[in-house]
Amino acid sequence: MRTNKLKQTLESGGVALGAALGFNSPDTVELLGVLGIDYVVFDMEHEVFDELSLLHSLRAAEAAGVTTICRLPNDADLILRALDAGAQGIHVPRVNTPDDVEDVVAAARFYPLGDRSFFAVARSGDYGIGVTEEEYAEFSNRETLITVQIEEKDAVDNIAELLASPGIDIMQVGPKDLWQSMGMPDRSEVQAVADEAIRSAREAGKWVSSYVWLNDTFEQQVDRLMGLGVQMLTASARDFIIEGARGFLSLKNTLNAK
């Protein structure tokens, strides 16, 4: 069983940098780890990322010492299999009500915090070798990180109740879906609501995660988010490829002019 290094960083007040990955490439995961990324979020909500692919990517991340988080629907069976496979955290979008939070926590925590189906001989528990069931339950409850994503108007309206749950660790705002839920107003209005949600999370003692985009506003994004107390900054692995390719291809005109 592996101690959650991301949780240790957050508890110490540090900032962690992560990558969101939505395609099956264990080599990419391992490469990101060698480069020094702190955590990888495997997107099983929007992307075609199956469970067997996830398993191989989890192994690659573990080999590189990277914390693993699965972004997935609020589905108890899927959450169970992701955690049994060895994911060190889950990230559940579209959490709008206290009942939604209760369902997430129940699916991801063992007694007395939840009622996750008990299976102590999966790879997450070292196949039951050298560890008691009591030790596994305590370790899993302590080391598993739960992120809930606030991305609809109902969630904003219920945010105090959502954040009151002791079972969740991290909050993230989904600005694109929030924009849509609010009727697609001016983006500044959405940003104000998102920033207030972040402040509420910090006041409630939760850590906050946010996506950042690797464009010409990157530094401003980071400054603003860290000013709000965000400790987890996640960029898309696709952005790494896109920005690197753009930098390389920008040489084309210069090289052809020679």
What six digits make up the tokens of 45? 């909500």
Residue 257 neighbours by CB under 8 Å, 6+ apart: none
Identity at 47, one-letter amino acid code: E
Q: What is the rounded (10 degree) CA torsion for 83, 146, 148, 15?
A: -120
46 is catalytic: yes
* DSSP secondary structure letter of residue 74: S
Report the alpha-carbon distance of residue 18 to residue 5 in Å, rounded.
12
CA dist 148 → 210, 213, 223, 238 (Å): 12, 20, 23, 23
Question: HSE of 32 in the Cβ direction (CA atoms, 13 Å)?
Answer: 32
Residue whose structure tokens are 């603003």: 224
Residues in the chain: 258
Among 198, 204, 142, residue whose Cα is nearest residue 175: 198
The catalytically annotated residue of 11, 34, 36, 46 is 46
Q: How far is CA 24 from the centre of its chain?
A: 17
Contact 178, 153 (CB under 8 A): yes
What is the set of active-site residues? 46
